[in-house]
Amino acid sequence: MKWDAWGLAEKSTTLSDGIKGLLQQALGVTTRQTPERAAEDVVLAASAVSEDQLAALAAIVGERFCSTAHYDRLLRSGGKSTIDLLRRRSTEQQNAPDVVVIPGTEAEIAEILDYCADNSIAVVPFSGGSSAVGGLDPVRDRFDAVLSLDMRRFDSLIDLDTDSGIATLGAGLPGPRVEERLGAHGFSLGHFPQSFMFSTIGGFAATRSSGQSSAGYGRFEDMVQGLRVVTPAGILDTGRAPASAAGPDLGELFVGSEGTLGVITQVRVRVHPVPESVVREGWRFPDFETGTAALRALRHEGAVPTVLRLSDEAETGVNLATHDKIGKEAVTGGCLAITTFEGTTDHTAQRVAQARAVLQSHGATSLGEGPGNNWERGRFDAPYLRDALLDAGALVETLETATTWSNLATLRAAVTKALTESLSGQGTPPLVLCHISHTYATGASLYFTIVCAQKEDPIDQWSKAKTAAGDAIIAAGGTITHHHAVGVDHRPWMRDEIGDLGVTVLRAVKNAVDPAGILNPGKLIP
Amino acid sequence: MKWDAWGLAEKSTTLSDGIKGLLQQALGVTTRQTPERAAEDVVLAASAVSEDQLAALAAIVGERFCSTAHYDRLLRSGGKSTIDLLRRRSTEQQNAPDVVVIPGTEAEIAEILDYCADNSIAVVPFSGGSSAVGGLDPVRDRFDAVLSLDMRRFDSLIDLDTDSGIATLGAGLPGPRVEERLGAHGFSLGHFPQSFMFSTIGGFAATRSSGQSSAGYGRFEDMVQGLRVVTPAGILDTGRAPASAAGPDLGELFVGSEGTLGVITQVRVRVHPVPESVVREGWRFPDFETGTAALRALRHEGAVPTVLRLSDEAETGVNLATHDKIGKEAVTGGCLAITTFEGTTDHTAQRVAQARAVLQSHGATSLGEGPGNNWERGRFDAPYLRDALLDAGALVETLETATTWSNLATLRAAVTKALTESLSGQGTPPLVLCHISHTYATGASLYFTIVCAQKEDPIDQWSKAKTAAGDAIIAAGGTITHHHAVGVDHRPWMRDEIGDLGVTVLRAVKNAVDPAGILNPGKLIP
């Protein structure tokens, strides 16, 4: 992972002069000179851990797994939101963890947590590094230093129960490695968020992640059968059975805990045989309302695809739905939807036929397999496009929410209005694109992409727009986040989301498992 | 509901002389004379609430909703486990709540909780009264009195969002009334536990209930979109969206809280259109192992019925699977399975065809629609049969667990062995029957029915067998309860189920929302 942009250097992209012209014409984007900086030129505060502390930590994990080196700290200085990337190119001194520690066992983690509690050191669990909400910010809070706890050594396929379809996975195992390891046994997890290439199992669990195949395989919490979590107060091991009535589901308390309640070390997940058959299809709807009604019908009549997405007119128009072709070859007019069906050959064919009947009776026109295949090829690449747009002087960011089917149009209009008014009011009228990428029996997600010209202080510019959007989401009855998690960025609305008593409950759990409060301060819990 | 047996007096049944003879021959059951007692002859301790307290409570809810009358207290003195029923016929003084209060608003509940916290009165939320695990026992613990908080006035369909398929229901609304009210709008909840006729929405949520159609519509927690809960520390309102990544799912903390964390007043649930089509079918498998493998294949290949059940050889043999015909007309030999498919006519037909193909390729022989229809007719009546068996001098009780597919045979053998050894060791060799009634991608439930001769002290006799079974479940890796909940009866194994840290977490939540500890003491949390 690049320290100042998304992903791998060899995959970075640039915009054509045509697109740049279009951006200038439509949004007033003018190329700014934000020079790339060499990592060694970034100014970090000196590490706040003492020689003695470093020695003590090295004694726990071994010297080679304990570092205060500039690049090691820089690489773990935050996530990959637009604000993270803009901050990272700043010439001012930047925040970074004071020390990076890479434990190899649960016992080592427990020792590190003890040591940090006794020595006023905050602990930020780190794995993929792709947080979009400030979940990895090295917030010092009331502590003297921040330790980045890198989980990369928890990278094994610990067990695969093929009869039950359950894999036990190390929390640091990257998404692509999971598919490789399971694939060797004929199994798949089927969890593909956009961050997939730089994701980990522990990150999926800690952030309550949802992947592009959520219609078929569920959200990550649906896949979780059990967790092992090391907390300062001991180890929790949840999930004795596929289902239980033995009181509250404590696993659901640690899924989505974002490193604030403990360090997830293992996750037991439901897996399925690698699908025999995959059938992709693109669909054109005359408008978003018609398309939304068709998606709802598909959920209610039970012929649910593995992947189910619908772009609005604007997103379809700029062809952002197939990320590598932004602005080129506008395919359809109207709204583009994509379905993918996976499973046994027979079962897939039957479901495809059922779904086609439902979609066509709700106004869909088939576009064949092309759009689905295009989407599939580019589906992890949008963040590279964001980097190119940022480099070209555009401000680009995404945000997401979810609500019931009956409230979806109201919520979409409210968020679009808030973003448009905020950015237009700042002199940079935006393009606001929207799609549905996750559907449920009772509702769906809304994912917004916002593009406008960068102002002098783009961090301040975006922060204002984000605040307006967050307030609008709360006012219109949406959730503050459907799959990006809370982190630092959504924390201001957390009390609106769960209420005063919800905050009291989370705080009580936090105090019970992390009495010193060292775990990921400043995130999630208001 | 009868005070000393299940259900309605007019539905009670007796055993034929033939069956009695069979029970005597096979299990040594001899008719005991446990005379029915008139309710007014039962000895209850005098109510421990003072005149002043009674007046204060009546001032909150109104005099007619506040009672210390003998029959009101007796009716709420516990649930309907076999031990409950045996105790209720005892001539000794019995436990009962000291006062019954029937609030009409959340504000009244909050006032009652305040008053009870200040006056050392424990509060046992009560609705359907069908607990099988002592969840309603009037445990006094360190308090001076026990108040039964009857939720029957929270009985409205508060809202029905037909676009989203979400109903907002009062917690005291009985299961049958839910189906009536929703049915008037063309919708159904589809939650049918065996206790259905005497169940409530609040009870489903408080006990993490699972119904007979769980394969199709999910467990109750899967249906829950949100809850309102009145606690001594305030009101919690969970679930802003169909899915969210805004931290831990706090709803999952209150689903299954069994009245120990708060009083559930409203539940928002996913509902579906009343099915156009219902197709039932019975199947014969040569043995339980083959049948289990077929059920697993059905889950894994995705053609999942709405109802999916499999009885073992013993249960099939005595025809307990169709409860009204115990011992008569042994249908099949081998093992009887039942499938029900519900939905739109087309979708049902397609799924039936898919499932038939899978089942037949795994050794199933169709028995036509008869066994499914028989099961459907008698599916809520097993508790009446239990009453008849108890009256005839048999000891009969059920217990349940769940585990992964790979561990299912081991767990079943371990529980059967523990029950058989314990009861045989007491001189009363039992008949142990087993079925699978709830299936998941990764595993299934096991439901045991145990019948043997009653000894002099059947409560002590069953307690020993239950302890042996609970220990065996823990040792063999099952959950202590799949859908009966914890209550008093499973609490001894709760620490085994969730671990020391799990108990710490539950206690912390309890202390935060119920600092005086008045809510349902002695249940759930060790």
Instruction: Return the CATH number at A351.
Output: 3.30.70.3450
- The CA R_g of chain A, rounded to the nearest whole Å, is 23
CB contacts, 8 Å: B511 with chain A = 508
Mutate to test the interface with A, among B240, B439, B482, B506 (most CBs of A within 10 A): B240
Please, which residues have CB within 8 angstroms of residue A315's CB and are 6 or more apart in sequence? A321, A336, A433, A434, A435, A449
With respect to residue A232, please indicate whether it lies within any of the assigned structural domains. yes
With respect to residue B13, please indicate whether it lies within any of the assigned structural domains. no
Q: Helices H, strands E: what count in chain B?
A: 18, 18
Based on the domain organization, do A102 and A123 belong to the same domain? yes
Q: How far is A297 from chain B (nearest CA, A)?
A: 10
> Is B282:A282 a contact under the CB 8 Å cutoff?
no
Q: What single string gives the DSSP state of each residue in A400-450?
A: EEEEEGGGHHHHHHHHHHHHHHHHHHTT-PPEEEEEE--B-SSEEEEEEEE
pLDDT of residue A1: 83
CATH of residue A407? 3.30.300.330
Q: Supply B44's token pair.
A: 């209850």
Based on the domain organization, do A296 and A284 belong to the same domain? yes
Question: What HEC string does B192-240 produce?
Answer: CCCCHHHCEHHHHHHHCCCCCCHHHHCCHHHHEEEEEEEECCEEEECCC
C-alpha–C-alpha distance, residues B249 and B524, integer Å: 20
Q: How many structural domains comprise chain A?
A: 4
Which residues, given as ranges, of chain B have pLDDT below 50? 321-323, 327
Q: Hey, is B396 helix, strand or coil?
A: strand
pLDDT of residue A494: 98
With respect to residue A46, please indicate whether it lies within any of the assigned structural domains. yes
Contact B482 A244 (CB under 8 A): yes
Contact B247 A296 (CB under 8 A): no
- The CA R_g of chain B, rounded to the nearest whole Å, is 23
- Could you say which of A241, A402, A500 has the minimum Cβ distance to residue B234? A500
H/E run at residue B485: none
C-alpha–C-alpha distance, residues B519 and B263, integer Å: 9
CA distance to A100, A350, A358, B439, B443, per residue, from A344 (Å): 45, 10, 21, 20, 20
Based on the domain organization, do B242 and B185 belong to the same domain? yes
E strand spans, B271-389: 272-273, 277-285, 307-311, 335-343, 365-368
- Pairing type for strands A166-170 and A187-188 reads unpaired
Domain-terminating residue out of A255, A273, A291? A273
Helical segments of B126-184, H only: 175-183
DSSP 3-state percent helix, strand, coil across chain B (nearest 5): 40, 20, 40
> Is A230:A106 a contact under the CB 8 Å cutoff?
yes
- For the packed helices B494-513 and A494-513, what is the interaxial angle rounded to 10 degrees? 120
Based on the domain organization, do B255 and B335 belong to the same domain? no
With respect to residue B433, please indicate whether it lies within any of the assigned structural domains. yes
Contact A498 B403 (CB under 8 A): no
CATH of residue A180? 3.30.465.10
Contact A270 B441 (CB under 8 A): yes
Q: How far is B513 from chain A (nearest CA, A)?
A: 7
Residue type, A54: L
C-alpha–C-alpha distance, residues B41 and B194, integer Å: 30
Domain-terminating residue out of B239, B273, B307? B273
Based on the domain organization, do B472 and B396 belong to the same domain? yes
Domain-terminating residue out of A150, A185, A218? A150
With respect to residue B514, please indicate whether it lies within any of the assigned structural domains. no
Q: How far is B344 from chain A (nearest CA, A)?
A: 7
Residue of B nearest to A249 (CA): B252
Which one, of A345, A303, A294, lies nearest residue A216 by Cα?
Answer: A303
Please pick, among B115, B217, B384, B447, the residue that the annotation labels catalytic.
B447
Q: What is the ipTM of this complex?
A: 0.96
- Pairing type for strands A157-161 and A187-188 reads unpaired
Based on the domain organization, do A269 and A282 belong to the same domain? no
Based on the domain organization, do B207 and B263 belong to the same domain? yes
Based on the domain organization, do B385 and B478 belong to the same domain? yes
- For the packed helices A51-61 and A106-118, what is the interaxial angle rounded to 10 degrees? 160
Residue of B nearest to A438 (CA): B243
C-alpha–C-alpha distance, residues A338 and A132, integer Å: 25
Mutate to test the interface with A, among B244, B258, B504 (most CBs of A within 10 A): B244
With respect to residue A47, please indicate whether it lies within any of the assigned structural domains. yes
Contact A250 B505 (CB under 8 A): yes
Tally the residues of chain B.
526
Would you give per-residue pLDDT tens digits along chain A (526 residues)?
A: 888 899 898 888 888 888 888 899 989 998 766 677 899 999 999 999 999 999 999 999 999 999 999 999 999 999 999 999 999 888 889 999 999 999 999 999 999 999 999 999 999 999 999 999 999 999 999 999 999 999 999 999 999 999 999 999 999 999 999 999 999 999 999 999 999 999 999 999 999 999 999 999 999 999 999 999 999 999 999 999 999 999 999 999 999 999 999 999 999 999 999 999 999 999 999 999 999 999 999 999 878 999 999 999 999 988 654 445 554 555 557 999 999 999 989 889 989 999 999 999 999 999 999 999 989 888 998 899 999 999 899 999 999 999 999 999 999 999 999 999 999 999 999 999 999 999 999 999 999 999 999 999 999 999 999 999 999 999 999 999 999 999 999 999 999 999 999 999 999 999 999 999 999 999 999 9
Based on the domain organization, do B161 and B263 belong to the same domain? yes
Which one, of A408, A429, A286, A303, lies nearest residue A355 by Cα?
Answer: A303
CB contacts, 8 Å: B506 with chain A = 247-248, 250
Based on the domain organization, do A123 and A70 belong to the same domain? yes
CB contacts, 8 Å: B248 with chain A = 252-257, 261, 506, 509
Domain that holds residue A240: 157-273
Q: Supply B107's token pair.
A: 């504000």
Is residue A264 part of an annotated ligand binding site?
yes
Can you say whether residue A329 is alpha, beta or left, with left for phi > 0 and alpha for psi between -120 and 50 degrees? left
> Is A164:A225 a contact under the CB 8 Å cutoff?
no
C-alpha–C-alpha distance, residues A296 and A298, integer Å: 5
C-alpha–C-alpha distance, residues A77 and A47, integer Å: 12
- The DSSP bridge partners found for residue A341 are A279
With respect to residue B498, please indicate whether it lies within any of the assigned structural domains. no
Q: Which residues of A are the active-site residues? A: 447
Which one, of B508, B172, B165, lies nearest residue A511 by Cα?
Answer: B508
Based on the domain organization, do B174 and B118 belong to the same domain? no
pLDDT of residue A92: 87
> Is A182:A160 a contact under the CB 8 Å cutoff?
yes
pLDDT of residue A325: 52
Based on the domain organization, do B162 and B269 belong to the same domain? yes
- Pairing type for strands A99-101 and A145-150 reads parallel
Contact A247 B498 (CB under 8 A): yes
Which one, of B177, B170, B168, lies nearest residue B156 by Cα?
Answer: B170
With respect to residue A14, please indicate whether it lies within any of the assigned structural domains. no
CB neighbour class for B136 (10 Å; exposed up to 12, middle 13-18, buried from 19)? buried
C-alpha–C-alpha distance, residues A150 and A26, integer Å: 43
CB contacts, 8 Å: A444 with chain B = 242
> Is B91:B55 a contact under the CB 8 Å cutoff?
no
Residue of A nearest to B494 (CA): A246
C-alpha–C-alpha distance, residues B148 and B99, integer Å: 6
Phi, psi for B160 (deg, rounded to 5): -135, 110
CB contacts, 8 Å: A267 with chain B = none
Contact A499 B236 (CB under 8 A): yes
